[in-house]
Structure 1
Amino acid sequence: MTQLPSDSSELTLANAVQIALRRATRGELAMLEFEHLLAPGKRLDLRMRLIVDGGPVDFAIELVGQAYPRDIARAIDLVKSAQPDGDVPVIPLVAAEALSPGAKELLRQEDIAYFDRRGTLHLRWRHWIIDIQQTEAKAAPSAKHGALNLFTGARAGVVLAVLHSRGEWLHVTELAAMAQTTGFTCSKVLQELELLEWCESEGSGRTRRRRLVKPNALLDAWAQAWPPKKEKRSHWYCFAPPTPGGVQRRLSDALQKSSPSFPWAFTGATPANVYAPLLTAVSDAEIIVPPGHAARFAERLGLEPADKGFNVTIIERDASSLLFRKDDADGMWSASPFILYLDLLDGRGRNKELAENVRAKMELGRDGIGE
């Protein structure tokens, strides 16, 4: 065995992949060589020989951290260039702390085996078909790239701005103005979207710009994280005529007479049915206000607290949910269509159907690089 790698994370990964291969193949370790020389100036991280069913098999292994398609081109080149040692067959394999779905797909296309610390092991060779998907190991406790929570606080506002950009090329400064936040926050979100392969970039430095190419993937991921954990809901009763739209008209009249100084917006079925008509009538209302303003807002509208039989829900959320709200010309504000869509995913009544109608109206198209 040659000198062990100085990076402890690489040594841990090397140990993990050799243990996983031995278990999966029921083989015995015969040789483990770090920094295997392929050609002058070209070294492979690891070459391992197992004795399987009485015969030797070599694995040409390159170790990587958090791997996305653009990160593994060099690793693919290295493992594919490994030559058999005499009659001993060699299997190219990329081992990673974590592999993105796109990286896995690329490795399968290149017919290269792969392993990651989350428990994935995929290998097709001769009569071997090994496909273990994240069932035998936990994720690495400390990865070089920790996943960023995109859907909280100011970052959620950046996500909303990116969705509203409709695939247009954006500089960080433009996005910061749209999201009403800092360039640093926008840069962090855009970097994460690139790593997830949901956005593409061109240029470098200050001239670098990016655009969203997988809006459906981004919106679906946001839906999985919805609703925001820090939101607070309170329920109220509005005295209004028992007719279709009665609550909405009562609230509209009150807001026109005394509109609050802080931002707010209708969300849920009522504005969604105006944006993408589907339902014959909506009998209640949901309104987003900034944190701490629910009681003042309810008092302004003459609402009464109600645990049962309520027809108004006031949702206290941070400012990101109020970005891109729309003025319906009469002083009535509606939340962004993306927020409407997310709020309709609550399983109530026909909200799911209405959500699908809203999503169709937004015309996101299909996901794809450069489209």
Structure 2
Amino acid sequence: MERTALSILRDIDGVTTEATSGDGRKADIVIHAGDVSHVVELKAQRSINAANARALIEQAQRLPKATHLLLVARSTTKEARRLLADAGVALIDGQGNMRVDLPGIFVWTERRPPHAASEKTSESPVKLTGKAGIATQALLGDPERWWQVNDLAAVAKISASLAHRVLSRLDRENLIETVGAGPKRARRVTHPAALLDLWAEEMRDRRVKPLRVFRLARDARAHATSLSTLLAGANIDHAVTGPAGAARLAPFITSIPVVDIWITQAVDLSAASNAIGAEVVQEGHNILLRQEADDYPLVFRTLIDDVWTVNKFRLYLDLRKDPRRGREQADRLREEVIGF
């Protein structure tokens, strides 16, 4: 893979490479372009996901000031590429993605993998989605705790077998530490930020049903309180998410054009709409009612200021998907509320 990366770099007009820096320092390669040159340390890895990216970024930050890290991998995930690009870490992968952003040198290409399965690797037998995603949220919710398999199974309400597989996956990703053996073996999260990145990358909802409705509201910030009270009064399990959910946790949320609510699949969305006195509309909605096939968005919901709200990790995930300043708001929530 290293030879392939060097070949790609040398094919770029005006770019040359050599094995040493010329001043006695050891380096994998030195990249020259015009009158600029950069010492680059090459690191090859079979695949890179969001968790791997977080660890590699930390490694890059420990390099000498004049040395840059260039990663070479057969496959990378979209979120891993985003994290690496934001951190300024150079990357070349076998899927045709390349980003080398150094002073005086900028090369960028991006390719879509030919098949969705191309981002799957033998190193990731358990994706952190579905019930495994619930177990991950339990771990994130108490990262200082030492977990035994049965503890995690009980909190996440999953089988002990699945809990063990999740912990084994995280052990392979170097995200947890282990003490003891046999029945007394316990694990603890060591890199919660990387675990959150990996979960947010892999978590997927199944068969989401949306319904757009309108209900007159004079005070947008108080609207969620009224809606949650009405739904609770009708015995409809639910959880507010998006900006309306974040507003009670983070003061930076100033605009709530739509109240986004997850509704249990146990009731029809039209019944939920009737319970809040809303009208179904095709456009101009100020409420979005949604259902997910397994009610996973409602797991670990909390009552905040009389509003049933999704847990903070689910809130982070939903904000990331929101086209209205979602990524920006998610990052602020992560910094100010989640803390890692």
2:314 corresponds to which residue? 339
User: What code does the residue aligned with 1:278 have?
Assistant: F
1:135 corresponds to which residue? 94
CA contact under 8 A between 2:211 and 2:289: conserved in structure 1? yes
Shift of 1:144: 9.4
Shift of 1:199: 1.4
Q: Distance in 1 between matches of 2:194 and 2:94?
A: 24
Do structure 1's residue 257 and structure 2's residue 225 form an aligned pair?
no
Do structure 1's residue 349 and structure 2's residue 305 form an aligned pair?
no
How many percent identity over aligned positions?
Answer: 25
Structure 1 spans left out of the alignment, 5+ residues: 1-16, 26-94, 110-115, 121-130, 366-371
Q: 1:29-178 maps to which residues of 2 (within 5 A)?
A: 118=74, 133-135=92-94, 145-178=122-155
Structure 2 spans left out of the alignment, 5+ residues: 8-43, 64-71, 77-89, 97-112
Q: Distance in 2 between matches of 1:207 and 1:321?
A: 32
Q: Provide the alpha-carbon RMSD of the alignment.
A: 4.0
1:163/1:22 Cα in 2 relative to 1: closer, same or farther (>3 Å)?
A: closer
Q: Distance in 2 between matches of 1:328 and 1:177?
A: 24
CA contact under 8 A between 2:130 and 2:203: conserved in structure 1? no
Residue of 175, 178, 183 corresponding to 1:206: 183
Shift of 1:316: 1.2
Shift of 1:290: 3.0
1:96/1:283 Cα in 2 relative to 1: closer, same or farther (>3 Å)?
A: closer
CA contact under 8 A between 2:129 and 2:204: conserved in structure 1? no
Report SS of the residue matched to 1:118: strand
CA contact under 8 A between 1:247 and 1:284: conserved in structure 2? no
1:192 corresponds to which residue? 169
Report SS of the residue matched to 1:234: strand
1:144/1:269 Cα in 2 relative to 1: closer, same or farther (>3 Å)?
A: closer
Shift of 1:132: 9.5
Q: Distance in 2 between matches of 1:214 and 1:135?
A: 28
Larger radius of gyration: 1
Q: Distance in 2 between matches of 1:96 and 1:229?
A: 31
Q: Distance in 1 between matches of 2:183 and 2:241?
A: 37
1:369 corresponds to which residue? none
Q: Distance in 2 between matches of 1:253 and 1:156?
A: 29
Shift of 1:192: 0.5
1:326 corresponds to which residue? 302
1:214/1:232 Cα in 2 relative to 1: closer, same or farther (>3 Å)?
A: farther
Shift of 1:249: 4.3
Q: Distance in 1 between matches of 2:95 and 2:315?
A: 40
Report SS of the residue matched to 2:93: coil
User: What code does the residue aligned with 1:306 have?
Assistant: V
Q: How many residues align?
A: 258
Q: Distance in 2 between matches of 1:158 and 1:292?
A: 23
Shift of 1:146: 4.6
1:185/1:279 Cα in 2 relative to 1: closer, same or farther (>3 Å)?
A: same
Shift of 1:177: 1.5
1:311/1:172 Cα in 2 relative to 1: closer, same or farther (>3 Å)?
A: same
2:14 corresponds to which residue? none
Shift of 1:267: 0.9
1:336/1:97 Cα in 2 relative to 1: closer, same or farther (>3 Å)?
A: closer
User: What code does the residue aligned with 1:327 have?
Assistant: L
Q: Distance in 2 between matches of 1:144 and 1:353?
A: 30
CA contact under 8 A between 1:245 and 1:283: conserved in structure 2? no
Do structure 1's residue 288 and structure 2's residue 262 form an aligned pair?
yes
Q: Distance in 2 between matches of 1:278 and 1:255?
A: 27
TM-score (structure 1 length as normaliser):
0.58
CA contact under 8 A between 1:285 and 1:311: conserved in structure 2? yes
- Write out per-residue CA displacement over residues 298-325 of structure 1, whole angstroms, 9 at most, x where no aligned residue: 2322322222111111221223322221
- Write out per-residue CA displacement over residues 115-168 of structure 1, whole angstroms, 9 at most, x where no aligned residue: x99389xxxxxxxxxx99433899999x99451343321111001111101232
CA contact under 8 A between 2:146 and 2:186: conserved in structure 1? yes
Q: Distance in 2 between matches of 1:23 and 1:355?
A: 34
TM-score (structure 2 length as normaliser):
0.63
1:242 corresponds to which residue? 218
CA contact under 8 A between 2:231 and 2:238: conserved in structure 1? no
Shift of 1:281: 4.4
Shift of 1:225: 3.6
1:146/1:270 Cα in 2 relative to 1: closer, same or farther (>3 Å)?
A: same
Report SS of the residue matched to 1:345: helix
CA contact under 8 A between 1:248 and 1:284: conserved in structure 2? no
